[in-house]
Amino acid sequence: VRDFVEILVIGDELLSGETCDTNSHWLDGALESIGWQVARHTTVPDHLEAIAAAFEEAARRVPLVISSGGLGPTGDDLTMAGLARAMGVSLYRDQGVLESIRQRFARFQREMTPNNEQQAMIPEGAEVLENQVGTAPGIAARLLGAEVYLLPGVPREVRWLFEHRIRPRIDRQRAAMVRRTLKVIGVGESRLEHEIREVIAAHPAVRWGFRTLGMENHVKLAAPPEAIAALDAAEAAVRATLGPKLYGAGTDTVEQVVGRALRARRETLALAESCTGGLIGKRLTDVPGASAYLLGGVLAYANEVKVGALGVDPQLIERHGAVSGEVAAAMAAGARERLGATWAISATGIAGPDGGSPEKPVGLVYIGRAGPQGAEAKELRLPGDRAAIREITASAALDWLRQELAG
Ligand code: AMP
Ligand code: MG
């Protein structure tokens, strides 16, 4: 099939829980960005017949096969031999490769051992791709009509060889799919699809996808370059349909969008965090330049701190409990006033696993928002474990502020 590529990663360590296959992940992105669709990943042990069979099977299915691993100097590095077997050729000692290995050892003043010569054993008919960041060269070959590229396992060498030796030969960037991502918070994926169903039906040239990440949902649009007008029209229609529910696009995060809005309005923000334990502050300060709008916050975990540092009325806590809308609003109002900010957001809730009760179960959270117009709170009932509840709470609080700033 045209445009399809398969990735083979070779090494026992990738099948025993020792090493995580990050090379496939990186190659996926690199290939996708130049117009190739990755159709399959195969992980193969350091076993000659298994390697030969994997190359042969992949080359029968797709026109491009890229492998990583098994090009080292030791007895378990069998990728060259496996490819040679699949091609029905033998290995020869490449004098050029041998010389560059010798020079590399000399340059680093290390002594070469006889097994290093294995890295100069190349399948007959294959082409050597010089590697300037390691000893093992890359290889280009043809197998059953497919183009095959061999890369070492070391991630840094994979990236260098791909960028410098392979990408220029296989670049089909002009054919790459054009992609757009539109992002919402707090609208589930089924509701999201339902709300834009007419836009989807009206734009059949666009490939539609949905992705859920905690409280976020992303609509993904993709189209080939010749259908870019349809893609633009579809994106505009989604934006019009979702309106202010949409918080951003592409690589935007809600903390960036909130920061941009505050900066544009020359306003400031304070935080009062209980169940999120500083997570909202962490996420806001992940954005460089956050000091332009974030004043600070109070990590008010204990009731005494809610009262002492934020000025929450102890009677409110007694009457409604620390996890209540009244306390969330008072926390936000207190942070805004004590820190002298334009806006404040707060969170108080039961993140679990303990501390829940029939009236106040795990996942019950209140977020607060205070501004020039006063303070208010919103109740959330969240699914998931402690980590998920905290992350979703932070997203919800940030998005609630974003909506106010946008409106
Ligand atoms: P090799 O070329 O097979 O000798 O691999 C060299 C080293 O690269 C291995 O010891 C692993 O630490 C690393 N490595 C190999 N394959 C992968 C992979 N698919 N993803 C990430 N690291 C890898
Ligand atoms: Mg290996």
Q: Determine the distance separating the centroid of ligand 1 and the alpha carbon of 69, expressed in angstroms.
A: 5
Ligand nearest to the CA of 138: 1
The atom number, within ligand 1, closest to the CA of 136 reads 2
Ligand 1 contact, 72 CB (< 6 A)? yes
The total of other beta-carbon atoms located within 10 Å of residue 147's CB is 18
As a whole number of angstroms, the longest Cα–Cα distance in the chain is: 85
The bridge status of strand 4-10 relative to strand 37-44 is parallel
Ligand 1 contact, 19 CB (< 6 A)? yes
Helices 48-61 and 79-87 cross at an angle (nearest 10°) of 60
Q: How confident is the prediction for the chain on average, in pLDDT? A: 95
Going by CA atoms, what residue is nearest to atom 17 of ligand 1? 153
Ligand 1 contact, 78 CB (< 6 A)? no
Q: What is the DSSP string of 66-93?
A: EEES--SSSTT--HHHHHHHHHT--EEE
Give the pLDDT of residue 172: 86
DSSP SS3 for 361: coil
pLDDT in tens, 354-395: 999 999 999 999 999 999 999 999 999 999 999 999 999 999
User: In whole angstroms, what is the distance from residue 191 CA to residue 185 CA?
Assistant: 12
Q: Please state the rounded mean pLDDT for residues 302-307.
A: 98
Give the pLDDT of residue 2: 56
Ligand nearest to the CA of 15: 1
Q: What is the DSSP letter of 162?
A: I
User: In whole angstroms, what is the distance from residue 346 CA to residue 310 CA?
Assistant: 11
pLDDT in tens, 72-102: 999 999 999 999 999 999 999 999 999 999 9
User: In whole angstroms, what is the distance from residue 142 CA to residue 150 CA?
Assistant: 11
Residue 311 has pLDDT above 90, yes or no: yes
User: In whole angstroms, what is the distance from residue 373 CA to residue 253 CA?
Assistant: 26
User: In whole angstroms, what is the distance from residue 168 CA to residue 24 CA?
Assistant: 19
Ligand nearest to the CA of 72: 1
Nearest C-alpha neighbor of 324 from the set 274, 282, 391: 274
Q: Determine the distance separating the centroid of ligand 1 and the alpha carbon of 8, expressed in angstroms.
A: 12
Give the pLDDT of residue 1: 45
